[in-house]
Structure 1
Amino acid sequence: MGSGRRGAPPRFVLRDVSEKNREGKRTARERLAEEREKQKAAEKRRRVLIVGASVVCVLGLAAVIGVVAANAGKDDAEASGPVVAPSGANGEDSLAIPVGDAGATSTLTVWEDFRCPACKSFEDAYRSTIHELTEAGKLKVEYHLVTLIDGNMGGSGSRKAANAAACAQNEDKFAAYHDVLFVNQPAETDDAFAGDSKLIDLAKKVEGLDTSAFRTCVEDGTHTSWVAKSNEAFQKGGFSGTPSVFLNGTNIYADRSMTPAKLKQMVEAKAKG
């Protein structure tokens, strides 16, 4: 009997320890479950941010300040020469490159960055419709070139590609080269367009563009100051990001119901009067 009583307390202690261990395990499981839920929520937020970033290149107030601060000295040094507009540029300060019949009843104004993924998405979706309408003489397009991604991501590919596109305008090959640049757009973080050799190599895809004059224009950065002035106009214009697309002054890129078919319908209705 005595040995049984002496053994009783240890059994009580073991049960107590076991219960504490089970409680500790439950607490640990609860903490692990909570941590997993936090990780899931964080991953979901990350995916939403990535998707949002791929839909539009957002230019908020902080981004504007960042672009100005990041490029304050650099752009002045790189664009210190005279502002040389490409052949045929028009609009205020000759900052627009026109494509299509000047007498067309509708005007599409497009602000684009050759490194911007959302701009490529817009071009891929609307390219054939825009070509159809410009070739029919119903639509003229005024392209404004922007260097937003250079400021946000670093590098000089936006500026170099814009200068090369302006050089192509001198050869009357802007529209074709513009399309080639977007079709061959590198990843947003890849500053491949910063290389003159890359831009010249892509010019070979446009018949008659790879000339000595074009190469010299690209390598010398002939229109660099003009590109900087165009980007300055974009920053001062109060635009929400790239692309910014306006049909006869109305922001159609902000219209979520807009489709290539709807754009065509609007332009053709305008042409009919």
Structure 2
Amino acid sequence: MPPRFVLRDVSEKNREGKRTARERLAEERAKQKTVEKRRRALIVGASVVCVLGLAAVIGIVAANAGKDDTESSGPVIVPSGANGEDSLAIPAGKTGAKSTLTVWEDFRCPACKSFEDAYRSTIHELTDAGQLKVEYHLATLIDGNMGGSGSLKAANAAACAQDAGKFTAYHDTLYENQPAETDDAFAEDAKLIDLAKKVDGLDTPAFRSCVEDGTHNSWVVKSNEAFQKGGFSGTPSVLLNGKNIYQDQTMTPAKLKQLVQENAKG
């Protein structure tokens, strides 16, 4: 009997020892799970903070998109003949035309060049016929998005050309010689002055001084501010008698001509 008692006692102690080991193992695993949960929570929390931080950065970038980095604190000098609200529109065509085409453009904007290349001859035909007048508004969207100052300086040069009565010809020349969007070539005064040689009578000391001095820079900045406040989706924004036709997927130069001529008859 005593040996059996001893064996049974030892066996019970062994089972107790195993149970205690299992409990310790279970406790250790539970602790590891708790640590792992905390670690994952920290990772998720950090990720959320990173995402929120990135979102904040993106928000700031988006908020600054389209803003002109070039500050201009000088007086606002309006180009000769500019009209409209705050004298921010450069007119082309006869004032008595029944149809008005309002164009918001950026000289660095590739989409603006595409529009001009497609519609230029039709617009000239209609303005020459006295059926259409155009109001050009200049923006500096690409400067704000890509950096640089080519949009601003090209717009100033175009305003200088307006002073000389050569806006339309120089406007067309700038688009016909537009550099790649990432190439800020229009930021160079020499480039803008060299292009003026393509327009008869524009390359004068007065024009050169106007370009080099940035005479109309503050006016361009004010025009760009009006663009930002106007709720436009981008450049170009083209309105015929107040209706946005650039968003019309069916619009063509032929259709524009038809609409203008029908309005002229009516």
Q: What letter matches 2:181 in structure 1?
A: E
Partner of 2:65: 67
Partner of 1:16: none
User: How many angstroms apart in 2 are the aligned matches of 1:107 and 1:225?
Assistant: 26
Q: Work out which of the residue numbers 100, 108, 115 in structure 1 matches 2:108.
A: 115
Q: Does 1:225 align with 2:218?
A: yes
Q: What letter matches 1:102 in structure 2?
A: T
Unaligned runs of 5+ in 1: 1-60
Q: Work out which of the residue numbers 115, 119, 122 in structure 2 matches 1:126.
A: 119
Q: Work out which of the residue numbers 137, 142, 155 in structure 1 matches 2:148.
A: 155
Residue deviations 1:113-150 (CA, integer Å, cap 9, x gap): 00000000000000000000000000000000000000
User: Displacement of 1:67 after TM fit?
Assistant: 2.8
User: Displacement of 1:62 after TM fit?
Assistant: 7.0
Unaligned runs of 5+ in 2: 1-58
Asked if 2 retains the 8 angstrom alpha-carbon contact of 1:64 and 1:235, the reply is no
Task: Say which SS state the counterpart of residue 65 (structure 2) adopts.
Answer: helix
Task: Say which SS state the counterpart of residue 102 (structure 2) adopts.
Answer: strand
User: How many angstroms apart in 1 are the aligned matches of 2:91 and 2:62?
Assistant: 27
Task: Say which SS state the counterpart of residue 103 (structure 2) adopts.
Answer: strand
**Overall identity of the aligned pairs, in %:** 78
Q: Does 1:272 align with 2:261?
A: no
Task: Say which SS state the counterpart of residue 88 (structure 1) adopts.
Answer: coil
RMSD: 1.3
Asked if 2 retains the 8 angstrom alpha-carbon contact of 1:161 and 1:194, the reply is yes
In the TM superposition, 1:14-53 aligns within 5 A as: none
Structure 1 runs of 4+ with >3 Å offset: 61-64
User: How many angstroms apart in 1 are the aligned matches of 2:105 and 2:113?
Assistant: 9
User: How many angstroms apart in 2 are the aligned matches of 1:247 and 1:167?
Assistant: 26
Q: Does 1:103 align with 2:101?
A: no
User: How many angstroms apart in 2 are the aligned matches of 1:90 and 1:164?
Assistant: 18
User: Displacement of 1:66 after TM fit?
Assistant: 2.2
Partner of 1:140: 133
Q: What letter matches 2:265 in structure 1?
A: K
Partner of 2:239: 246
Task: Say which SS state the counterpart of residue 242 (structure 1) adopts.
Answer: coil
User: How many angstroms apart in 1 are the aligned matches of 2:131 and 2:185?
Assistant: 36
- Count residues in correspondence: 208
User: How many angstroms apart in 2 are the aligned matches of 1:116 and 1:178?
Assistant: 13
User: Displacement of 1:167 after TM fit?
Assistant: 0.1
In the TM superposition, 1:145-224 aligns within 5 A as: 145-224=138-217
Q: Work out which of the residue numbers 235, 238, 247 in structure 1 matches 2:228.
A: 235
User: Displacement of 1:189 after TM fit?
Assistant: 0.1
User: How many angstroms apart in 2 are the aligned matches of 1:149 and 1:137?
Assistant: 33
User: How many angstroms apart in 2 are the aligned matches of 1:232 and 1:138?
Assistant: 30
Partner of 1:82: 75
Distance 1:247 1:81, change over 3 A: same
TM-score (norm 2): 0.76
Q: What letter matches 2:147 in structure 1?
A: G
Task: Say which SS state the counterpart of residue 245 (structure 1) adopts.
Answer: strand
Task: Say which SS state the counterpart of residue 221 (structure 2) adopts.
Answer: helix
User: How many angstroms apart in 2 are the aligned matches of 1:186 and 1:224?
Assistant: 21
User: Displacement of 1:64 after TM fit?
Assistant: 5.1
Partner of 1:56: none
Q: What letter matches 2:157 in structure 1?
A: A
TM-score (norm 1): 0.74
Task: Say which SS state the counterpart of residue 257 (structure 1) adopts.
Answer: coil
Structure whose CA Rg is larger:
2
